[in-house]
């Protein structure tokens, strides 16, 4: 059974390119996601102080034990970059989580 993925776009329509990239990132995440069953990605568009668009990406992971793991939010002027950084943080967090688990 693989890891599920839900994507929510807030403030913009999203794109198939972002969804494709998220799918690639999910495969990478699944390689270290020993107990993760669901991944929820939220990407929110807003304006910074200068009126430029910025994107916040955040992941919430759900474990088999119904534990919710919130990965810190990442912000960038490019939605894809913010998303990739969020997945980078999730992979790092999961590797640390499993490194300190008793067997």
pTM here? 0.88
DSSP 52: -
Read off the pLDDT of each residue in 78-95 and give the average, rounded to a whole number: 95
Share of the chain above pLDDT 70, in %: 94
CATH for 71? 3.30.160.100
Question: Which domain, by its residues, includes 57?
Answer: 4-99
pLDDT at 3: 81
What is the total count of domains within the chain? 1
Residues in contact with 18: Cβ distance below 8 Å, sequence separation at least 6, in sequence order: 7, 43, 79, 80, 83
């Amino acid at each position: 059974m693989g890891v599920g993925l839900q994507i929510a776009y807030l403030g913009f329509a999203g794109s198939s390119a972002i969804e494709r990239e998220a799918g690639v990132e999910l495969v990478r995440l699944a390689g270290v996601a020993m107990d993760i069953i669901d991944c929820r990605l939220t990407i929110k568009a807003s304006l910074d102080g200068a009126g430029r668009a910025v994107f916040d990406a955040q992941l919430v992971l759900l474990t088999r034990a119904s534990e919710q793991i919130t990965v810190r939010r990442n912000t960038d002027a490019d939605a894809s970059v913010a998303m990739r950084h969020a997945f980078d943080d999730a992979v790092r967090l999961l590797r640390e989580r499993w490194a300190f688990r008793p067997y």
